Chain A
């Protein structure tokens, strides 16, 4: 089933994105967080069996966190991006790992890099960053250069280079 037909059946507004070098357009839709699970289920039964990625964008001016669920269909070779918006000061969503098991890993990554909380996912511990004790580093208000200066450049050199053996 084509993505347009599914969108029309569900009554969701969508947007076509032309990609250079791609003949087929990609579809992007903003959906309500409550309805996302049902929509992904519908897409999954209609041929969109490949969950490509879950990514996150920090819209600091709007005060939002955008979560983008990226699906792909091998039948029609179409890409679909479903995005939801969460409040930035307390981003919280439920886990969708029962739909696609690989979502669990993406949720762990988004949790670590952006601080988004996923209710129901019990593996949101330390993942890629080890020994991290600051705010999540991919948030826009994290000052990387300042952090680098404080953490790494303040480490003193150990003397003794050139001592005689």
Chain B
């Protein structure tokens, strides 16, 4: 564990979570959520949970972003909130 990285990444994560929920364009929100997943993947690696980090990089940042983009493309892109 490296607490300096920990604090920086956690602050960025909270920012990314808030931005992902405030952006009105759903495609943008999905991409910011992908950034959030990558940050949390870095955090797992920093805490020594390498297997969890690997899974998160493949699943959270890869596949779940892709399927959310697929859904946004086949439904509405704009959101009212």
Do A and B pair up? The answer is no
Residues of B within 8 A of A (CB): none
